Amino acid sequence: MSLAESIKQSVSSGVESVEKSAHKAISNPKQAQLADFTVDYTKDRGIATHFGVLQSDTETALKAGIRGPTLIEDTHAREKITHFDHERIPERVVHARGTGAHGYFKLHTPIPEVTYAPILNDTTLTTPTFVRFSTVQGFRGSADTVRDVRGFATRFYTQQGNWDIVANNNPVFFIQEAIKFPDVIHAVKPDQAKEIPQAQSAHDNFWDFIGRTPESLHHVMWHMSDRNIPRSYRMMQGFGVHSFVCVNAKGQRSFVKFHWKPKLGIHSLVWDEALKIAGQDPDFHRRDLYDAIEAGSYPEYEFGVQVVPEEKEHDFDFDLLDSTKIIPEELVPVRYIGSMVLNKCPDDFFAETEQIAFCTQHMVPGIEHSNDPLLHLRSFSYQDTQLTRLGGPNWNLLPINRPVCPVFNTHRDGYMQTQINKGPNYWPNRFGTPHPVAGKDGGQVLSPQPLPGGVKERVRGPKFSEHYSQATLFWNSMSDVEKEHIVGAFSFELGRCDDKGVIELMLEQINFIDNKLACLVAQSLHLQPPKEVHPNHGKATKFLSQINPVNSNNAFTAVGRRMALFVHDGFDFGIASGIKAAFAGMGVIVNVVGPRKGKINSSTTGTFLEAHFTFETCRSTLFDGVFFVGGRGPEYDKLKRQGRWLHAAREAFMHYKTVGASGSAVDWLNKYALPGEIDRLVDNLKSEGVVAEQGVVLAGSQVKEAPMLIKSLTDEMSKHRAWGRDVSAIAA
């Protein structure tokens, strides 16, 4: 297109800087608002400077002669380079590595006895949301699958303003007082001298801090468990951590903890798998979230509350204001009152996911601060950090941060002010606007809060001094498999420490949690096991284990899982296509893995499947299960020398995943991939039958249709992992 044609087209269309057409029909009010700030670059447009001057060349700078020096008068080149030089903003000090998605929240059970907040009372509302998942320790470029706390920050765009629940995947915090937050983060971040290790807590500084901070031990138990290497953001709980205060229309106050429970259940990776994925696909969790949404398998979470009336605040042996403690669900059950669905990926990662600014103090009328000391200074910190990260006080005007309700106040000026404010900038004024709004008309009126007597001093409540009971409760509540993983995690983390004194101090602290745990960790580190100094209280709760089926918080389903279908030229089309079609209808994502991308021909003339991955570009770690489709022909005759097939089968088996095979691939799996591991299962297999045991599913050579096979695969994948499988002889 010539410059003249470009100008003509631009003028005729008005060169609107904002695309507004098509957006007015959007029912989600937040999406409609964002549409007014969205520029569509997929249409044919002429390139222009920031100030609207169309350019004929954006690839060659202005020079004094063909081989002469570049001229500073080239304003387009200078503008382009200058903007590029300033594209990066400071990353978050914590939670720098993250990803997000849009969605909506729907209430199904109102709680007027707890709060008068409309979002928790009006079941006709559909409230837009944005969620940002994140890791805590690493920089923006770190990997997704490191052992770390995960952020689960949710913004509700309500008609009463933005409400943020800045949650984590652990219900407790490392510390009781926010004044210690710089210390714990400095300790866990890379060493100041060498800037290593990245996104890891396995080093002297972190464990030195923990060993001297026993209030952290409950959180450390969560950190060492499988909870902090989640399988997916879609399979991860979220907790508001703090006890908030909710107020009903009568002015009655209650302490409330907020919970998110994933519909797909709470599931994790195994450690070897997490380590490998960090190198194979550092964006694993990010990609998993996007792929699910784009496939229409929308992540969904139930929203629940634990409610303690104010008059029962002191009925527990722990303090409700202590964020290192949970309220066991046997004492106060979680009431699930609504659900959230994530159904849209961001259009612009920077403008939405990176620039969203969550703040714990963003609350709507009916929801308030408690006296939790961690919450109070968090509320200061989150507001304060945005001033630096986003360049000034007007970050609320960024599209992703704007409320969907009208906003009028007397705030003015500041860096990057985008509004043209007409009228008075003070109150009271002769215009009578913008004016305070009475509580009966929706204005926020904070409830009267009783103040404890005493003197001004640096002190904590008496119940804040007990640090071991709930750490022991967590340990007691784990299954044998989970306990084994916790021992392994402690052994890995402390094994990476160089200072023997740090290791010995941590073993002393672990011994206060449970002597057997301390002895197992000491044994793995070849140290003297400690003697018991603090008896285990023996209490447990059924709501913490991810494996124990009696935990009603968990769910086991194949929906949302990912299966790899390994095929070679000459594969059995009936089996492969049957699995693919059936799983697609169930919400299981099936990816075909072949010797090349694109068309893989079957043994049936004219039939084929499209491969998404090659044997070289995928690993079993990226899937919940692997299935090897049998076939015939020269490629299948050479399977015993196919290293990637062998590795995929052994690795998936070692990680307790579902492993399946059909037809000729059964013999290959038994003789070459897993020799001596599945002999008995193969002996029980009939040519027209299907057998399954401990996550291994085999289909005989005469199985021509998929129904029996599909049921067995679905049943095994639903279990998440075959934890009863003996993998001691497998290395992959």
Binding site members: 382
The vertex-96 CA angle with 184 and 274, nearest 5°, equals: 85
| C-alpha to C-alpha distance for 305 and 321, rounded to whole angstroms | 16
At position 28, the amino acid (one-letter code) is: N
Phi-psi region of 65 (alpha: psi -120 to 50; beta: other; left: phi over 0): left
Q: For residue 376, how many C-alpha atoms fall within 13 Å in the half-sphere facing its CB?
A: 10
Cα distance between residue 280 and residue 259, in whole Å: 32
The overall longest dimension of the chain from CA atoms, in Å, is 92
Question: Residue for token digits 């139930």?
Answer: 302
**Measured between alpha carbons, how far is 699 from 701 in angstroms, rounded to an integer?**
7
Which residue carries 């015939």 as its tokens? 632
Name the residue type at position 613.
Answer: F
Tokens of 641: 């020398």
d(CA 17, CA 455): 59
Q: Cα separation of 215 and 194, whole Å?
A: 29
Three-class DSSP category at 15: coil
Which residue reads 């998936």 in tokens? Answer: 652
Give the distance, in angstroms, between the CA of residue 732 and the centroid of all CA atoms in the same chain: 28
Q: Is 670 designated active site?
A: no
Contact, 613 vs 591, CB < 8 A?
yes
Q: CA dist 673 to 307, 325, 402, 621, 647, Å?
A: 53, 47, 56, 17, 8
Q: Is 631 within 8 Å of 650 (Cβ atoms)?
A: no
Which SS3 state, helix, strand or coil, does residue 309 take?
strand
Contact predicate 434/408, CB 8 Å? yes
Q: What is the DSSP string of 219-230?
A: HHHHHHSGGGSB
For the chain, how many helices (H) and strands (E)? Answer: 20, 19
Residue of 550, 512, 546 whose CA lies nearest to 530: 512
Residue matched to tokens 């520029």: 39
For residue 166, what are the β-bridge partners? 153
- Kind plus residue range of the DSSP H or E element containing 155: strand 150-158
Q: Which segments within 201-273 are labelled E, that is strand?
A: 238-239, 244-247, 253-262
Query: By C-alpha distance, which of 398, 347, 414, 357 is closest to 90?
Result: 357
Annotation says 95 is catalytic: yes
Q: What is the DSSP letter of 190?
A: P
> Radius of gyration over alpha carbons of the chain, in Å?
29
The two tokens of residue 113 are 């006895």
- Phi, psi of 688, rounded to the nearest 5 degrees: -105, 10
- Name the catalytic one among 95, 218, 223, 655: 95
Nearest 5°: the CA angle 129, 134, 137 is 155
The active-site residue, picked from 168, 205, 228, 248, is 168
Cross-strand partners of 611 = 598
**Which run of H or E residues covers position 594?**
strand 589-594
Residue numbering of the annotated binding site for heme: 382
**What's the rounded Cα separation, in Å, for the pair 131 and 167?**
10
In contact, 521 and 507? CB cutoff 8 Å: yes
The Cβ of residue 312 has, within 10 Å, a number of other Cβ atoms equal to: 13
Q: Enumerate the active-site residues.
A: 95, 168
